Amino acid sequence: MPPENSRAGIYKGLISLAAFLGLWAVMAAIVQDSSMLPSPNRVAQVFWSEALSGEIAFHMQATLARVIAAFVLAMSIGSMIGIAAGRNPGFNLWAAPWLIIFLNLPALVVIVLCYLWIGLNEVAAIAAVALNKIPMIAVMMREGARTLDPALDDMTRAFAIPRLTSWRHVIVPQLAPHFASAGRAGFALIWKIVLVVEFLGRSNGVGFQIHLNFQLFDVARILAYALGFVALMLVVEFLIVQPWERSASKWRRAGTAR
């Protein structure tokens, strides 16, 4: 993307964000009930006071740790199942019905069952989130593994490239776009499910705070915690996910034959 277009895109994004805040402020002014719909200014004040007290950092840290643990677990297990199913039609015949069952099991059911069977603890919370996302990641990675180039498989075998080298330089780069899609989709959903898990059975985290403030009918605090975590996820997207994607696809932008 040329720099002018990129700059224009940033300006348009900022104007759109300002319009959202403006609309919110207008709605809050019309409602005139800060317990029902606090203004952006009021939410910012609450966020700031929670930040100064260290509360928001403590709860965000707890939620982020759960998001990362569940994400790593779901990506690892989901990718292994998906790649095996995509590369081995025989295994896929066994795995496909399980994936369909788990894909259609409501997240709430999995969370409740994990809490009932494992107990109200960290293991149950993280297992519930990971179990919810493993089937989706497995299905996405299975489709990716099915698109692996058989000609490159032949090349790998003809030159007897060692298995580890082949995975690192031949297979994983082909799967990189699918890892990125599965990772992005997984991350976006995992943090939302983590909030539900915390809402239902943890004593810290953003989800717990939302539960607490729901009981206290404190909408400003609910919005402060929710928007704070959204901001954190956007930082992760811009500082980690997008730079990694750019680096992984550098060869695509290298130009064409001269």
Partner 1 sequence: MKLEIAGKSFGGTPVLGAISLTVAPGEVLAVTGPSGIGKSTLARIMAGLDHDFDGTCSGFGRVGMVFQNPTLLPWRTALDNILIATGCDANAGRDALDHVELGTRQDAFPGQLSLGQQRRVALARALAANPDTLILDEAFASLDEATAGRMRSLAQSILQGSHYRTILITHNLVDVVHLADAVLLLGQHPAIVLAEHKIPTPRPIRDLKAEMAVVRQQLHWQGSDIQ
**Through-space distance between the first and last CA atoms of the chain, rounded to whole angstroms:** 21
Q: Which is nearer to partner 1, 112 or 248 (CB)?
A: 248
Binding positions for partner 1, 227-256, rule CB under 8 A: 251-252, 254-256
The distance of closest approach from Cβ of residue 254 to partner 1 in the complex, given in angstroms and rounded to an integer, is: 4
Contact between 154 and partner 1 per CB under 8 A: yes
The distance of closest approach from Cβ of residue 87 to partner 1 in the complex, given in angstroms and rounded to an integer, is: 17
Query: Residue 142: helix, strand or coil by DSSP?
Result: helix
Q: Which is nearer to partner 1, 80 or 170 (CB)?
A: 170
Q: Are 186 and 74 in contact (CB under 8 A)?
A: yes
The distance of closest approach from Cβ of residue 237 to partner 1 in the complex, given in angstroms and rounded to an integer, is: 23
Q: Which is nearer to partner 1, 12 or 169 (CB)?
A: 169
Question: Which of 229, 228, 197, 224 minimizes the C-alpha distance to 213?
Answer: 224
Contact between 159 and partner 1 per CB under 8 A: yes
Q: Are 170 and 161 in contact (CB under 8 A)?
A: yes
Q: Which is nearer to partner 1, 54 or 162 (CB)?
A: 162
Q: Which is nearer to partner 1, 30 or 158 (CB)?
A: 158
Binding positions for partner 1, 161-190, rule CB under 8 A: 161-162, 165, 169-170, 173
Choices 159-167, 198-206, 223-231, 237-245 (CB under 8 A): range interacting with partner 1: 159-167
Per rule CB under 8 A, count of chain residues that contact partner 1: 21
Q: What is the greatest pairwise CA distance in the chain?
A: 74
Chosen residue from 30, 52, 158, 164 binding partner 1 by CB under 8 A: 158
Contact between 49 and partner 1 per CB under 8 A: no
Contact characters 94-133, partner 1, x per CB under 8 A:
----------------------------------------
C-alpha distances out from residue 1 to 4, 7, 253, Å: 8, 10, 11
Question: What's the CA gap between 1 and 143, in Å, rounded?
Answer: 29
Q: Are 175 and 83 in contact (CB under 8 A)?
A: yes
Please, which contacts does 106-115 make with residues 24 or more away whose CB atoms are closer than 8 Å?
107/132, 107/193, 107/196, 108/196, 111/193, 111/196, 111/197, 111/200, 111/201, 112/200, 115/200, 115/201
Q: Which is nearer to partner 1, 54 or 255 (CB)?
A: 255
Token digits of residue 131: 């179990």
Chosen residue from 7, 12, 157, 246 binding partner 1 by CB under 8 A: 157
Looking up tokens 């298995």, which residue turns up?
A: 163
The distance of closest approach from Cβ of residue 240 to partner 1 in the complex, given in angstroms and rounded to an integer, is: 21
Helical packing angle, 55-87 and 172-201, nearest 10°: 130
Binding site for partner 1 (CB under 8 A): 151-152, 154-155, 157-162, 165, 169-170, 173, 251-252, 254-258
